[in-house]
Structure 1
Amino acid sequence: MVKRAYKYRFYPTNEQARNLAQTFGCCRFVYNSALATRKRAYFDHQRKIKTSELSASVTALKQEKGMAWLRDVSSVPLQQALRHLDSAYKNFFEGRAKYPTFKKKHKGQSATYTDNAFTWRDGRLILAKQKDPLDIVWSRPLPENARISSVTVSKDPAGRSFISLLVDEWIEPLPMTEKVVGVDLGLTSLLITSDGETIANPKHFHRYEKKLARVQRRHAKKKKGSKNRDKAWRKVARLHARIADTRRDYQHKVTTRLIRENQVICLEDLYVAGMLKNHCLAKAISDVGWGEIRRQLEYKAAWYGRSVVIIDRWEASSKTCSACEYTLDSLTLDVREWVCPACGVCHDRDINAAHNILAAGLAVVAACGENVRPATSKGAEAVLNEAGRLSS
């Protein structure tokens, strides 16, 4: 049983749009106020403020003169904004994210409603402080007898409205397979597998780069504060959204196929943040989305009973011969094929790296045993036998 989000596009009425705009603004105000309060308390007095104190301050703030507009929206999204800030701090202190920043009006907006702030009946969803159900485009059905625990309404910079329904769902594991694969992530090709398969990199940003530069120039020439500038900015946002949507769709198709076909997938731990400091490759690395591919593989593997093994980032996968394990002193990026001076085998750089990643990953499987062992004994035995053969 997992918590799974189903995201849909919806089209609000004028009244719903006004209410959601108010809700987004109030959530942003509460989040920014709480962040400023916590920063001042810590830097000025070295004092940490708990979420319960901030929650009480929001309730008191509604009673102040000039703050009555906070009572026009549901109180649940406002309290959830405080919990989101608490999660942001937790992620920062545990090293998963940067220090929280203030939310901006012209960025993406969102508000979260828990189950006491919406009504779900017969496929109709009505949010608190609203009268009519949302006009949702049901692009895919919800699970039967789905219990919705929370609803997140969002609006992206392109002006599109989305709703994400969080439900508890039982996902059946996929049938066992004895196939294992090593995957080398690249730029010219998105993925290179140890089977010799090469998955192309569509370069989504590069495809729209000239058009994006054109609409950005038009936006820059408009008078600041004018409606024409807002219209031009909306065109830039829509083009960015199209690039992100096409990239995400392609990544989901690739990762889903890898999960369905392989029991164990071995990847290399890449230091993407450090690689982005290389200004010659930063744009291409950002466009390919290595981090998102790894994230999708990991959560889909947890859903469907697969294993994703991450090997050490300092493993010399490209310059080590997969046949005799001879390691070159250096191998520059422009060398795509090389001949091993020890055994004379000619290697394709990427396929050789995928073979080495597979061998290192299966060595981890053999060492860890039950921690990454597949679910059934027959498949586990086959994978561990392969691991022992490659590691020896």
Structure 2
Amino acid sequence: MKARYQYRIYPTPGQRQSLARLFGCVRVVWNDALALCKQSEKLPKNSELQKLCITQAKKTEAREWLTQVSNIPLQQSIADLGVAFKNFFQSRSGKRKGKKVNPPKFKSRRSQQTARFRKGGFKTKTSKVYLAKIGDIKIKWSRPLPSEPTSVTVIKDCAGRYFLSFVVEVDPEIKPPKNPSIGIDLGLKTFASCSNGEKIDSPDYSLLYRKLKRCQRRLAKRERGSKRRERMRVKVAKLNAQIRDKRKDFLHKLSTKVVDENQVIALEDLNVGGMLKNRKLSRAISQAGWHEFRSLCEGKACKHNRDFRVIGRWEPTSQVCSECGYRWGKLDLSVRTIVCVNCGVEHDRDDNASVNIEQAGLKVGVGQTHDVKWTGSACKTSSEAVCGEPSTHREYVQLSLFDAFGITVLVGR
């Protein structure tokens, strides 16, 4: 299977100028080809676009500077545009799984810049990488490449950092799992509550967010087009990159640990879009990275031959006792511990939900339990598990004084 390995590079000032020229040429070829596609009634072939936007464009005065860069990234830009249109049409027709893909857009020089080289346009060395018409660029090999790369993408992010992303063939090492299964309940302060009793707290981003908030206020006061505004924009981009890298590092390490140690991984299909409508928690929810964690677990589970299962969002994991199956109904978010009135066991809210997620995940096959909009019988607790009428926004408290008489006191919140 194919995988990407990304490394940081440190080009010289002259090489940065050459890379800026390369990024500009690739962006112009993409935009010219996209403009031709939008003007045409029928989508042109890649060979026709290459002839019009590269070969013939080099002979004109307006595009003669395309000859200053390697021809390989320009051709790959046209090929990437063809793949983008193919994904868009297959997504609209239903042949492509997942979310709907939007049509390709025009590229801007203010966003992330990329250029892709295939074999013949690059060569890896001990401490450097050769790129056609760029030269040998210093690279930081943080880990060895598992095999010979088939292509490499040069990336410049909004913070001004440069990276090389290699595509290689890998043979994943499949290790025997320590545990048969695990259920994970995702949260905000406690990012993950596992069914084995382990709790993983979210990283602390408070200091970085305070700095980011202060810099964004300063950026809003800078005059547009000034050098001071550009310097502050780069500073804000660097802070955003630090937060993103810190979150990505945390999610990668946690997902790797979960997939390596468990054969079956069960998660809940969270309605993140609906949760974002809560104006008090929308920022914290969007910054948690729940969707990214789910994507990483799903990809690594497929890579290491693990079973990744997602239960439906309508499963009442927080409303059912994991010991006896009694359903007590909805609870307010402030209620963190529950005493079951049926069996008398005291539960932590998140731990109880993680155990229910694991049990629900083991009952179904690989993949999702049901469609996210289905509210049928598969989404509800069975009648055998319901011992009484569920309550709404109440907390059950069982008092020892009345245990001898078998009386349960219901205290409303």
The yes-or-no answer on 1:57 pairing with 2:52 is yes
Aligned with 1:179: secondary structure?
strand
Residue 155 of structure 1 is matched in structure 2 by 156
Cα distance change of structure 1 residues 358 and 134 upon mapping to structure 2, 3 Å threshold = same
Count of residue pairs the alignment pairs up: 359
Cα distance in 1 between the residues matched to 2:159 and 2:128: 26
Query: Displacement, 1:142?
Result: 2.2
Question: CA deviation digits over 1:148-195, x for unaligned, max 9?
Answer: 100111011111111112221222111243431101111121100011
Residue 137 of structure 1 is matched in structure 2 by 140
Is the 1:174–1:305 Cα contact (8 Å) retained in structure 2? Answer: no
Residue 48 of structure 1 is matched in structure 2 by 43
Query: Displacement, 1:330?
Result: 2.7
Q: CA RMSD in A?
A: 2.3
Q: What aligned pairs does 1:232-243 form with structure 2 within 5 A after superposition?
A: 232-243=232-243
Cα distance change of structure 1 residues 234 and 123 upon mapping to structure 2, 3 Å threshold = closer
Residue 198 of structure 2 is matched in structure 1 by 197
Cα distance in 2 between the residues matched to 1:87 and 1:286: 30
> Bigger shift: 194-203 or 176-185?
176-185
Output the amino acid matched with 2:364. Answer: V
Residue 82 of structure 2 is matched in structure 1 by 86
Q: TM-score, normalised by structure 1?
A: 0.84
Residue 35 of structure 1 is matched in structure 2 by 34
> Bigger shift: 118-127 or 356-365?
118-127
Is the 2:127–2:139 Cα contact (8 Å) retained in structure 1? Answer: no
Output the amino acid matched with 1:78. Answer: L
Task: Decide which of 109, 130, 135 is 1:126's aligned counterpart.
Answer: 130
More RCO (CA 8 Å, sep 6+): 1
Aligned with 2:364: secondary structure?
helix
Query: Displacement, 1:90?
Result: 4.0
Cα distance in 1 between the residues matched to 2:340 and 2:28: 62
Output the amino acid matched with 2:273. Answer: A
Cα distance in 2 between the residues matched to 1:90 and 1:312: 31
The gaps in structure 2 that reach 5 residues or longer are: 369-413
Residue 258 of structure 2 is matched in structure 1 by 258
Cα distance in 1 between the residues matched to 2:132 and 2:264: 45
Cα distance change of structure 1 residues 218 and 24 upon mapping to structure 2, 3 Å threshold = same
> Bigger shift: 171-180 or 109-118?
171-180
Larger Rg: 2
Is the 1:203–1:287 Cα contact (8 Å) retained in structure 2? Answer: no
Aligned with 2:233: secondary structure?
helix
Is the 1:203–1:288 Cα contact (8 Å) retained in structure 2? Answer: no
Question: CA deviation digits over 1:325-383, x for unaligned, max 9?
Answer: 23344333333223334444333221111111101111124999xxxxxxxxxxxxxxx
Query: Displacement, 1:241?
Result: 0.8
The gaps in structure 1 that reach 5 residues or longer are: 369-392
Which of the pair is proportionally richer in helix?
1
Residue 229 of structure 1 is matched in structure 2 by 229
Output the amino acid matched with 1:137. Answer: K
Residue 120 of structure 2 is matched in structure 1 by 116
Aligned with 2:137: secondary structure?
coil
Query: Displacement, 1:77?
Result: 1.4
Output the amino acid matched with 1:75. Answer: N
Cα distance in 1 between the residues matched to 2:333 and 2:84: 38
Cα distance in 1 between the residues matched to 2:367 and 2:240: 44
Output the amino acid matched with 2:161. Answer: R
Question: CA deviation digits over 1:22-65, x for unaligned, max 9?
Answer: 11112222222333333344xxx4x4344443233223322223
